[in-house]
Amino acid sequence: MPVSEFCKNLYFTNLPGVGQCFTEYVFFGDSGLSSLVILILIAFVGIKAQLPLEVMYPGLLGFTFVLYLFSGASWLLGLFLIGLLIGGILFAITILQNLARG
């Protein structure tokens, strides 16, 4: 398969460019599909390894943000921000429960 002109002159500090070259050959140019498949694979590996939610949740949030940097898909940033919001709410509930006990 011939390498495109864009991928020949690629700098690895250009994360959207690296993501575009990756998806150009693996997922036929659809960065949203590649991000979704990668997130699902990571989640399935975590479930199969029986990792606790305290490990999987921050890991998936981190991968969501990294995949957003690579692909630039706005729905990934939305998932990341919703995940941060849910994590903050759960953290606040935990703090309030600890204050009620003390």
Tell me if 8 is assigned to some domain.
no
**Residue 81's pLDDT band (boundaries 50, 70, 90)?**
very high
Tell me if 3 is assigned to some domain.
no
Can you give the pLDDT at residue 88?
94
- Domain enclosing residue 86, as ranges: 13-101
What's the mean pLDDT in 31-47? 86
Can you give the pLDDT at residue 80?
94
Is the pLDDT assigned to residue 17 strictly greater than 70?
A: yes
Angle at 36 between CA 83 and CA 49, to 5 degrees: 75
Determine what percent of the chain is predicted with pLDDT higher than 90.
43
Tell me if 27 is assigned to some domain.
yes
Determine what percent of the chain is predicted with pLDDT higher than 70.
88
Tell me if 28 is assigned to some domain.
yes
Tell me if 6 is assigned to some domain.
no
CA atoms of 25 and 4, how far apart (whole Å)? 10
**Residue 65's pLDDT band (boundaries 50, 70, 90)?**
very high
Tell me if 4 is assigned to some domain.
no
- Give the total number of structural domains in the chain: 1
